[in-house]
Amino acid sequence: MRAIFSIAKTTVGEAVRRKVLLVILLIGLLFVVIAPSLTVLTARQERSTLVGLTLGVLMLTSALIAIVLTVYMIPNEIERRTIYTILCKPVQRYQFLLGKYFGAVAALGMMIGFMSLVMVITFVVFQREQRISEIAPLLKVPLMTFFQTALLAAMAIMFSTFVTPLVNFFLSAGLYFVGTLFNPLFQTMVENPASSPATKALGRVFHIVLPNFANFNVQNPVINPGQEIVNEGLYFAGTIGYAFLYSGIMLGIAVLIFDRREV
Amino acid sequence: MKKQKRTGLIAAAAVMFAAQGALSQGFLLPLWQRNYGTAQQTVTSGLAPDQLLFALAGFRELVAQLMWVRADSFFDTGNYDAVLPIIRIVTLLDPKQIDVYATGMWHIAYNFTDEESRSDRRYIPSALALGAEGARQNPQTYELFFETGWLWYHRIDDNYENAVRWWEEAQKRKDILPARQNILGMAYQRNGQIQEGLDLYFAQLRRAEEAMRKQNDFGASQQRDTVENNIDTMLVRMGQRGWFGRQQGLTNPPVPYDTDPPFNVGFSAQVAVIDARILRVRATWNVRPVGTRIRMILRDADYPNVQPGGLKWDASDAVSLDPPRDRTFMQDQLFVRNRRVERRIDMSRDPTMYPFISDKYVIEFYYNPRSAPPHIQDKFGWNGEGMTDPNFLNTEVRPGQRVVFASLELTREQLLRLGEWRNKTPIVQTENFRGDERFRRDMETIQIPGLRTERPANESPIAPVR
């Protein structure tokens, strides 16, 4: 456990020092800050536009950071041969992998937290929303985005044990886009009377097998308030549980592959 | 790693896989669709490739918001055609955007006009369909029920039973504003549901007084005053128009109701095609006070979903951004001054709105007392019981109402002045039309009768038949 913690701590330090991640973070923050300048619509529309843009930027930036952060994580250690200095110590391969993953998740948490803080300050300053009841719903989205990106990071780390970073980038990004599309697409497919039973069955198989990032997209009622939401707490708990389960599968596969890999 | 550990890990992964599948399919998906699902259709057209990618990849709201910001700049520059597809795409991407639905309905129903500011009524079914879709997508709020009812009440200004239906639905929503509840009373009156209108006002009064007891601020007292005023006015009208008496079977009251005897409006009309696509409309109407507007429609004889004096506006659920461009449907209001109408209708500058492709056309004149202003209704009554016409009174086109309805026919050749009509002015008129002296007077002088207007002692402000 101590080994995992030490590796995670080092990984966080590395992530913070990486310029490319800081540039992505900076661009994301810039968008969050300039969003209030879009004060051209009606009072309600202005707020929903601002919330929609800000949360969209936050989600997109977080996903990009998660992919860029994790695709190079293992291959870089192997390429630079720094992995030998770690594995020659009493550190198991699975401990190294998990340490890297938890470090990445911690770094992601820090960055999402920082963006959320800027978002809250922006709303307090520009929108003059100072009541907790106005600000608190906004924070639901970064919370779910954190678990979404944690799952994304687990998937990217799993791929990084056997594919090159470039392939991993496109593979992870592609699966992320497909995964965020799952629920609306599946809904359309099921509701379309023209869909054959075979198509629906195939859709369901994909829906079960591939990681479903759409489950974490809970921003709509935050952008368009006043909707009737049922069992929200239970849904959030279930989705976080889903993130743990699927990340566990990804990390399990990663450990199995990495254990037999020549480094 | 030992084989035993590997096997254990594989088994754990398999268990977790089964658990995530069950969790995702059995619990998360139905709840996500219920709480967070945004669209019934997948948008594939009208989006740039980058927008499409973003929209499909879970950033539907973001794309919708960006597009709506873009639409606003089109509004500012008056580029209304460009706004139309954006409204449709935004509502498909994020059907929870109530303002986009409300603005879109208003835009579609009101902003497409010809050079003489006549609305393109071919869009109205789309506006209604958009409202119905918005209400389905946002059943928790009164807003789109109210907006759709408003289109029926104000834009269509007929078929008030639909305004009542939508506003009754709006009334069921908790977030409806008190001031917006009041208008249902007017819709009840225009729909001939007088008792329901009165009952609503009294219920409103009780609510307003309750609200005042809780918080006696300006808004609450103003609402109470408004409702009281509405009740006062309505009771007076109910008395004067003979509603109470008729309800009690009093057919021969000691003081005649204002609506007795029915007044002969003496409608007649003539339409001349003075140039290609340009009409001169003349009509007679015996009502002297200002405020009468007679609906005139010129449409293809085979226009789909017609009903006398309009259309079956909600015949389709489809939100079509492209109105039937091969069809012609012109609707205008003929304003009566000095008991006559003389109006020039120029459709020559808007060939896309008036394509005149069909061979045969129908001109309809329609007057429904339910749409009349109160001072006219005081004589005609809510359902036209105080109005008559020897030639065109119609009790069938709107069951339970007495309306004036007449129709004439024209051909395409006549309207476009083609063939034998190149040098000959086509004129169609009702049989009773007489080119009397009313049309030789100065049209610009509006003779408004008042208390000091000299008139024979036995002549009422509403002029008798001549």
Whether the predicted pLDDT of B49 surpasses 60: no
In chain B, % helix, strand, coil (3-state, to 5) comes to: 45, 15, 40
Q: How far apart are the CA of A217 and the nearest CA of chain B, in angstroms?
A: 7
Q: Are A214 and A183 in contact (CB under 8 A)?
A: yes
Q: How far apart are the CA of B42 and the nearest CA of chain A, in angstroms?
A: 7
Adjacent-strand bridge partners of A177: none
Contacts of B13 in chain A (CB under 8 A): 248-249, 252-253
Query: Quick one: pLDDT band at residue B301, thresholds 50, 70, 90?
Result: very high
8 Å CB contact of A188 and B38: no
Q: Does B44 touch chain A (CB under 8 A)?
A: no
Contacts of A232 in chain B (CB under 8 A): 35
Q: Which pLDDT does position B464 carry in this prediction? A: 45
User: Could you give the angle at the alpha carbon of B183 between the alpha carbons of B182 and B187, nearest 5°?
Assistant: 130
8 Å CB contact of B61 and A249: no
Q: What percentage of chain A carries pLDDT values higher than 70?
A: 94
Whether the predicted pLDDT of B4 surpasses 90: no
Structure-block tokens of residue A38? 């879009």
Q: Which of B16, B31, B56 sits opposite A249 (nearest CB)?
A: B16
Average pLDDT over residues B264-290: 94
Q: Which pLDDT does position B441 carry in this prediction? A: 60
Q: B268-275 and B293-300 as β-strands: parallel, antiparallel, unpaired?
A: unpaired
Q: How far apart are the CA of B439 and the nearest CA of chain A, in angstroms?
A: 49
Average pLDDT over residues B147-162: 95
Q: Give backbone dihedrals phi and psi of A88, rounded to 5 degrees, phi first.
A: -75, -15
8 Å CB contact of B29 and A241: no
Contacts of B94 in chain A (CB under 8 A): 52, 220, 223-224
Q: Which residues contact A249 (CB under 8 A, 6 or more apart)?
A: B13, B16, B17, B20
Residue to mutate among B1, B10, B24, with most A CBs inside 10 A, is B24
Average pLDDT over residues A156-174: 92
The answer for A4, left when phi > 0, alpha when psi is -120 to 50, beta otherwise, is alpha
Q: Are B269 and B430 in contact (CB under 8 A)?
A: yes
8 Å CB contact of B28 and A235: yes
**Could you report the per-residue pLDDT of B427-457, keeping only the tens digit for each?**
999 999 987 667 766 555 666 665 555 554 4
Contacts of A246 in chain B (CB under 8 A): 16, 20
**Could you report the per-residue pLDDT of A130-145, keeping only the tens digit for each?**
788 888 888 999 999 9
pTM for the model? 0.76
Query: Quick one: pLDDT band at residue B463, thresholds 50, 70, 90?
Result: very low
Q: B360-367 and B393-394 as β-strands: parallel, antiparallel, unpaired?
A: unpaired
Nearest-10 crossing angle of helices B178-190, B160-171: 150
Whether the predicted pLDDT of B57 surpasses 60: no
Q: How far apart are the CA of A132 and the nearest CA of chain B, in angstroms?
A: 22
Contacts of A49 in chain B (CB under 8 A): 65, 68-69
Q: Does A72 touch chain B (CB under 8 A)?
A: no
Q: How far apart are the CA of A130 and the nearest CA of chain B, in angstroms?
A: 24
Contacts of A238 in chain B (CB under 8 A): 23, 27-28, 31
Which of A:99-158 have CB within 8 Å of B? none
In this structure, how many other beta carbons lie within 10 angstroms of the beta carbon of residue B309?
Answer: 23
The rounded mean pLDDT for chain B is: 87
Q: Which pLDDT does position B254 carry in this prediction? A: 82
Q: Are B85 and B46 in contact (CB under 8 A)?
A: yes
Q: Does A229 touch chain B (CB under 8 A)?
A: yes
At A46, which helix (H) or strand (E)? helix A43-71
**Could you report the per-residue pLDDT of B357-392, keeping only the tens digit for each?**
999 999 999 999 999 999 999 999 999 999 999 999
Which of B:60-89 have CB within 8 Å of A? 60-62, 64-66, 68-69, 72-73
